[in-house]
Amino acid sequence: MSVREKFFGLSRRAVSTIAFTIIVLVVAIAFRRPLISWFTGERDHEGPQAVESPVDAGAAPATVANEIDHYTCSMHPSVNQKGPGKCPICGMNLIPVTKEQQVEGVIVIDPQRRQLIGVRTAPVTLGPMKSAFRAIGHVSYDESALADVSLKVRGWITKLYVNETGQRVARGQTLFDLYSPELYNAQQDFLLAAGPVGGLDAGTRVAGLASAARQRLRLLGMTDAQIDAIAKRGTAMESVAFAAPESGFVIEKDVVEGASVEPGTRLYRIGALDKVWVEAEIYEADLANVRVGQRADVTLDYLPGRSFDAKVAYVYPELDPKSRTGRVRIELANQDLDLRPGMYANVALSADLGSRVQVPASAVVYTGPRRIVFVDLGEGRFKPQEVRVGAESEGMYEVQGGLKPGDVVATSGVFLIAAEARIGTAAKYWDSEPDDGGAPMPMVPKEGAK
């Protein structure tokens, strides 16, 4: 290749490079402002966004409400920039936040997007409300029907007729025979006092002694029939039979045949099962809704498909400090002996709370110390509203403050609305503690109200 050809080849490459450089410089100068905004994230105050067209007085509020306050990132709400651009953390396009959104927390969802995320609404209602709750209980003996068998004299068990725990006994059935020197001497005294004597005055005095001796035998545990048998026979009984004071089942047995017993020793405890108690454990939060005479529905796994309709007979005054539950007593008839002490029972209770303002439970969002619902303001606008809720029943919350009947709230898609509302808007609803310390919130005013 000649020198001339090399020269022209280098010249063509130089011209191409110079032309490309000039084109790049022209493009950079022509688009310098968008490029600067893209790299720095600063708003172009000289561009069209900085120029605001004059509006009439009637449209001024809408302009102020729709005025952009700042730009933020949907993934990183901490990003706060004055102009559009890219998120410095993830590189996503920043989205605008209006002044209305910033102050009121109002977000706008267009109809197409609303349908896409499945937003549904329901009105706040005023109507009757019931508080229904369940508790676990256990079957126990009727304490008012328990009977103890104990002695008032010292002695020895000569014959034991009821010798098994759990054995069923009837009232008046002989439990054991007892030999007691003290009881034997008391019988001898009675026979002496009740014997024939001469003279009217002596007979009167002896009659008084006989009555006292008879009363002493009663106090020591003998029945009138036994005393009459002694008087008829004329001799004392070495072993005296002691009978069951009540019908029922032997719960406890602390005696064997031939044992020596002391006064006051409990030998048997007998419990009837024709009526039983169900003692249910009620959570502390539900105790305020429990009253004596309240209807209760009792079911047992042992008897599937069967329920017992009963009423609350007593509410115990103390609270278990460990489980934080209170006890209530329910009394049930048990003629067929289907209910046995120690069984677990499921107790369903309900209380009529009267007429209450209610909102669907699905509408309430928990944000730490606050409870938030989203009020539908119309035209696709939703505003977060703090509420105070009370009892819950059948998927509804009682509203104690923050809403009024007729307000419309979002009931589905709520978490997606909440996620968008949290993107730099109304942060007071999400990050701060309530200012009123739990006092009732003011009601949401109607649109157009001053």
Q: Which of 94, 85, 101, 80 is nearest to 47 (CA)?
A: 85
- 251 plus 179 within the same structural domain: yes
Instruction: Tell which of 196, 229, 260 closes a domain.
Output: 260
Work out the burial of residue 161: count CB atoms within 10 Å of its CB; fewer than 13 is exposed, 13-18 middle, 19 or more buried: middle
The answer to whether position 236 is within a domain reads yes
The answer to whether position 173 is within a domain reads yes
Rounded Cα–Cα distance for residues 137 and 298 (Å): 9
Rounded Cα–Cα distance for residues 211 and 186 (Å): 12
Domain membership of residue 64 as a residue range: 31-100
Q: Which of 402, 392, 405 is nearest to 438 (CA)?
A: 402
Q: Which of 108, 111, 72, 78 is nearest to 93 (CA)?
A: 72
Residue 267, number of CB atoms within 10 A of its CB = 22
The answer to whether position 72 is within a domain reads yes
Q: What is the dihedral of CA 11, 16, 18, 21, to 10 degrees?
A: -160
The answer to whether position 2 is within a domain reads no
- 349 plus 361 within the same structural domain: no
Q: What confidence score (pLDDT) does residue 429 get?
A: 59
Q: Which of 419, 349, 169, 131 is nearest to 269 (CA)?
A: 169
Question: Residue type at 211?
Answer: S
- 194 plus 247 within the same structural domain: yes
- Angle (CA) 336-247-297 rounded to 5° is 35
How much is the pTM? 0.61
Q: What confidence score (pLDDT) does residue 65 get?
A: 53
Phi, psi of 125, rounded to the nearest 5 degrees = -120, 160
pLDDT digits (tens, 9 = 90+) for 332-367: 999 889 999 999 999 999 888 889 999 999 999 887
Domains in the chain, number: 4
pLDDT digits (tens, 9 = 90+) for 41-95: 444 444 333 333 333 434 444 445 568 878 877 667 677 888 888 888 888 888 7
The answer to whether position 438 is within a domain reads no
Rounded Cα–Cα distance for residues 118 and 416 (Å): 10
Using DSSP, state whether 322 is helix, strand or coil: coil
Sheet holding 260-261, edge to edge: 239-243, 174-179, 155-160, 260-261
CATH of the domain at 390: 2.40.420.20
- 67 plus 124 within the same structural domain: no
CATH of the domain at 328: 2.40.30.170
Residue 137, number of CB atoms within 10 A of its CB = 23
Sheet holding 266-271, edge to edge: 146-150, 266-271, 248-253, 168-169
The answer to whether position 23 is within a domain reads no
The answer to whether position 359 is within a domain reads yes
Q: What confidence score (pLDDT) does residue 266 get?
A: 94
pLDDT digits (tens, 9 = 90+) for 423-432: 555 455 555 5
Q: Are 410 and 363 in contact (CB under 8 A)?
A: yes
- 361 plus 346 within the same structural domain: no
- 306 plus 344 within the same structural domain: yes
The answer to whether position 307 is within a domain reads yes
- 141 contact partners, CB below 8 Å, separation of at least 6: 251, 271, 272, 273, 276, 277, 341
- 349 plus 359 within the same structural domain: no
Count how many residues are written for the chain: 450
Q: What confidence score (pLDDT) does residue 34 get?
A: 58
- 255 plus 163 within the same structural domain: yes
Strand locations in 120-238 (E): 120-123, 125-141, 146-150, 155-160, 168-169, 174-179
Q: Which of 178, 188, 168, 146 is nearest to 242 (CA)?
A: 178
Q: Are 285 and 191 in contact (CB under 8 A)?
A: no
Q: What confidence score (pLDDT) does residue 414 get?
A: 85
Q: Which of 436, 320, 440, 418 is nearest to 362 (CA)?
A: 418
- 173 plus 249 within the same structural domain: yes
Instruction: Tell which of 260, 286, 321 closes a domain.
Output: 260
- 116 plus 69 within the same structural domain: no
Q: What confidence score (pLDDT) does residue 43 get?
A: 44
Give, in order, the Cα–Cα distances in Å from 294 to each of 176, 333, 350, 427: 45, 17, 8, 46
pLDDT in 10s for each residue of the chain, 450 residues = 554 555 445 566 666 677 777 776 766 666 566 555 555 544 444 433 333 333 343 444 444 556 887 887 766 767 788 888 888 888 888 878 777 666 777 777 778 878 888 889 999 999 998 888 899 999 999 999 999 999 999 999 999 999 999 999 999 999 999 999 999 999 998 888 877 654 444 455 567 788 888 999 999 999 999 999 998 988 999 999 999 999 999 999 999 999 999 999 999 999 999 999 999 999 998 898 899 999 999 999 989 989 999 999 999 999 999 999 999 999 999 988 999 999 999 999 988 888 999 999 999 988 777 888 999 988 788 888 889 998 888 888 999 999 999 999 999 888 888 877 765 554 555 555 555 544 444 444 444 443
- 164 plus 195 within the same structural domain: yes
- 170 plus 250 within the same structural domain: yes
Instruction: Tell which of 260, 290, 305 closes a domain.
Output: 260
Rounded Cα–Cα distance for residues 27 and 20 (Å): 11
Rounded Cα–Cα distance for residues 141 and 276 (Å): 5
Q: What confidence score (pLDDT) does residue 185 get?
A: 93
Give, in order, the Cα–Cα distances in Å from 439 to each of 258, 337, 397, 400, 436: 73, 53, 18, 10, 5
